[in-house]
């Protein structure tokens, strides 16, 4: 299916704005689910999909949490999380050839580690900005349940779609 990367971009753009407000300007969204899953499935093309998604949001398409967009998102508390999305995508794309055929438990581990990386960078940015009204411990406690659910859902989606990707796209040379 030639249009699988385009479909992935459409899915991330349509579903990432959905959010559950948990603390100030930080929400639980589906962004990190797709930021991890897409490079696991598409490799380097997946990292490019994430870059295009971030560029579309920065350029003004309302694809970030709560249907927000624009350059100003890179100046607030969510900037560290947004930047971490591309870094995670690049890391997973780099390791894509070694992360193939993951079991459900291995996939869950990859999602958890990737989410932790996103949290560390996101929290580091908040600390750098020295935003005193954000209680990082409370924020972490609020984020953990969503991250666990997204990690579980992501590992199930990987298990469901990986065999198809492997047979239809990778073995036919459409995605390296």
Q: Mean pLDDT for the chain? A: 87
Using DSSP, state whether 99 is helix, strand or coil.
Answer: coil
Q: Name the residue with tokens 């990386």.
A: 117
Distance CA 106, CA 66 (A): 31
Give yes or no for a contact between 78 and 119, defined as CB atoms under 8 angstroms apart. no
State what percent of residues in the chain have pLDDT above 70.
Answer: 91
Has residue 95 been placed in a domain? yes
Residue 8 tokens, joined: 């992935």
The residues near 63 (Cβ < 8 Å, ≥ 6 apart) are 12, 13, 16, 17, 53, 56, 57, 69
DSSP character at residue 166: I
Q: How confident is the model at residue 107 (pLDDT cuts 50, 70, 90)?
A: very high
Q: How confident is the model at residue 50 (pLDDT cuts 50, 70, 90)?
A: very high
Has residue 126 been placed in a domain? yes
Distance CA 15, CA 126 (A): 25
pLDDT digits (tens, 9 = 90+) for 70-95: 999 998 888 999 999 999 999 999 98
CATH of the domain at 10: 1.10.1760.20
Has residue 102 been placed in a domain? yes
Has residue 15 been placed in a domain? yes
Give yes or no for a contact between 39 and 26, defined as CB atoms under 8 angstroms apart. no
Has residue 175 been placed in a domain? no
Has residue 93 been placed in a domain? yes
Distance CA 122, CA 25 (A): 12
Total structural domains in the chain?
A: 1
The residue range of the domain holding 147 is 4-169
Has residue 174 been placed in a domain? no
Has residue 125 been placed in a domain? yes
Average pLDDT over residues 15-32: 79
With 60 as the cut, is the pLDDT of residue 25 above it? no
């Amino acid at each position: 299916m030639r249009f699988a990367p385009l479909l992935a971009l459409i899915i991330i753009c349509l579903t990432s704005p959905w959010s559950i407000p948990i603390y100030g300007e930080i929400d639980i969204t589906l962004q990190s689910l797709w930021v991890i899953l897409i490079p696991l499935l598409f490799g380097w093309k997946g990292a490019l999909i994430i870059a295009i998604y971030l560029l579309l949001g920065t350029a003004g398409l309302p694809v970030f949490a709560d249907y927000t967009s624009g350059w100003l998102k890179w100046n607030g508390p969510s900037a560290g999380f947004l930047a971490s999305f591309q870094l995670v995508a690049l890391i997973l794309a780099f390791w894509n050839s070694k992360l193939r055929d993951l079991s459900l438990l291995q996939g869950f581990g990859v999602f958890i580690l990737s989410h932790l990386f996103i949290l560390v960078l996101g929290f580091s940015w908040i600390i750098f900005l020295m935003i005193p009204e954000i209680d990082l411990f409370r924020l972490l406690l609020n984020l953990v349940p969503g991250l666990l659910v997204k990690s579980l859902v992501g590992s199930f989606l990987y298990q469901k779609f990986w065999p198809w990707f492997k047979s239809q796209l990778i073995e036919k040379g459409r995605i390296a």
